[in-house]
Chain A
Amino acid sequence: MEEQMEQVVSMPKLGEKAPEFEAPTTHGTLKMSDFKGSWVVLFSHPADFTPVCTTEFMGFAQLEPEFRKRGVELIGLSVDSITSHIAWARNIEEKAGVKITFPIIADLNKEVSAKFGMVHPGQSKTETVRCTFIIDPDQVIRLILYYPLTTGRNMDEILRCIDALQTADKNKVATPANWRPGDMVIVPPPKTQEAAEERLKEGFECVDWYFCKRKL
């Protein structure tokens, strides 16, 4: 009987430290630890000089001032070479007038993509899928998004996620579905019966004792 070998993709989980790496990039050799103290959006794309990836890079580059305002550094990654990355970035600037100023990892040996589980053989055995890792200043992975090759990401959603994470950290609250900055936030549910009885007297906007919102 023929034994079938199934390739297992190792994927880091939320709350884990981002794996350390040292990799060649368009900004020189960079380590994950070089970004300590900043929020990071590490994102992979399947290949340079492809249309969906080009729209994504333009989207990230155009929103870079917004990311920077929030203390976020962007890092791109694909299994293409430095030369390819440089040529592609120059092409985007020449054809679309959009300058790519963030570093792009040239992960030719797939060392970084393996650590972050970015190659999904069911999608492609050779290319990275569209992964997005949001990593906090302590280098902890706080949010992961995976998109297939055919579907470009929504940069506004990534920015919204950063706003939600930073708001939750700063104010010890949670954010409801479709939350946007300025919307009410969710007060963490009470953990004791006594706190549950008190909750409705605390001046929050409550649907019930476990579901209360407040303004920031």
Chain B
Amino acid sequence: MPCVSADGKPTESGRKIIAALKAGNTSAEDISTGSGMPLYRVRSGLREMVEAGLVAENDGSHTLTEQGLAAV
């Protein structure tokens, strides 16, 4: 379930991850718990969202970028 569509916008899975990030979760583990998505999907989704510029990653901690905030 890719988290970013071809036009660079978050898909339903992507929006779940963004909602979990906005709720204050920063690690993949916490985002998995917060979103109810399996950990492997959160990890691959975050990777994809970092590549798309929606999320920034620093030492395992994730935050929404301005582009990510604007996408929701």
Contacts and interface: CB of A to CB of B under 8 A. Distances in A.
A34 B45 CA distance: 10
Contacts, number: 34
B40 A28 contact: no
Interface in A5-55: 27-31, 33-35, 37-38
B44 interface: yes
Contacts of A38: 38-40
Interface residues of A, number: 11
A73 interface: yes
A28 B1 contact: yes
Interface in B26-56: 29, 38-41, 43-45, 47-48
Interface residues of B, number: 13
A30 B38 contact: no
Contacts of B45: 28
A201 B2 CA distance: 59
Interface of A: 27-31, 33-35, 37-38, 73
A29 B44 contact: yes
Interface of B: 1-3, 29, 38-41, 43-45, 47-48
Nearest to B51: A29
A30 B3 contact: no
A28 B43 contact: no
A118 B28 CA distance: 31
Contacts of B39: 34-35, 37-38
Contact of A27 (B29, B41, B47): B41
A37 B33 CA distance: 14
Nearest to A28: B2
A34 B48 contact: no
Contacts of A28: 1-3, 41, 44-45, 48
B7 to A, nearest CB: 16
A121 B5 CA distance: 39
Contacts of B1: 27-28
12 contacts: A27-B41, A28-B2, A28-B41, A29-B2, A29-B47, A30-B40, A33-B43, A34-B40, A35-B39, A38-B38, A38-B40, A73-B40
Given A27-B44, A30-B40, 14 more contacts: A27-B2, A27-B41, A28-B1, A28-B48, A29-B2, A34-B39, A34-B40, A34-B43, A34-B44, A35-B39, A37-B39, A38-B38, A38-B40, A73-B38
